[in-house]
Structure 1
Amino acid sequence: MMAIFITRTATDPVCGTVVRVARAAAAADFQGQELFFCSSHCGATFAADPDRYVAASSVPSCRT
């Protein structure tokens, strides 16, 4: 019997990096939505101005 593992991923709303949820450097709950971040820097950047990143139509590059 073969086991199948599913890796849950999410897109970092600050930089657009695809993040493995189990290995996310930071996470936040914003308006009932769980968000995950590639680095603590992106998590802190989001926390400083969450509306900017949730409403953003373009994603800036990550500077970690």
Structure 2
Amino acid sequence: MRSTREISEGDPIPMLFLVAALLLLGVLLGTVAHAPLAFTVVAAAVIAAWLGIFAARERRARRN
């Protein structure tokens, strides 16, 4: 699925997604001491998947 808006060099939108991901990671790391291990593993897998999809989309966008 292609976006109708092309990503340019100075586009702040991809950086905002990265900042949001890092903020979410920081919040989860702060609560990881109080959360059960199973929840921590699931949350880490979700974040890793999200960042992986983001990286793949960025790589594909730069190749086109």
Give the TM-score normalised by structure 2.
0.22
Structure (1 or 2) with the larger CA radius of gyration: 2
Indicate the structure with greater helix content.
2
Query: Per residue, is there more strand in 1 or in 2?
Result: 1
Higher relative contact order (CA 8 A, sep 6+): 2
> TM-score scaled by structure 1?
0.22
